[in-house]
Amino acid sequence: MQTQHAIKRSQQRGIPTLIQQWLLDYGEENFNERGMIIRFFTSKSIRRMERDFGREPLRRLSEYMRCYLVESAHDGSVITVGKRHNKNHVWRH
């Protein structure tokens, strides 16, 4: 389930539904103290996707490998999605 905010942000930021699903299925998770799960791709998760889908699809979609997704730890709803501008910055608490 996605909030209206998440739907609007994914449209504004041009993040395909496929990438959101991959974040949910393959993304690493980081829990924060405000009851949110931040999901993002790491080298490890990208390698798992390459094994499942092949390198070519991942190469073509490489611009989305810096995307993140924020999910509620309470009900699993997607709160927002975005793209990290600093490739090394992930919110860790």
The model's pLDDT over 15-61, given as tens digits with 9 standing for 90+, comes to 999 999 999 999 999 998 888 999 999 999 999 999 999 999 999 99
What is the C-alpha R_g of the chain? 13
Note whether 37 and 31 are within 8 A (CB).
yes
Greater pLDDT, 67 or 88 = 67
Q: Residue 13 has what pLDDT? A: 93
Answering whether pTM is above 0.75, one says yes
- CA 11 vs. chain centroid, Å, equals 14
Residue 64 gets which letter from DSSP?
A: G
Stretch 74-78: mean pLDDT: 91
Euclidean distance between CA atoms 2 and 69, whole angstroms: 11
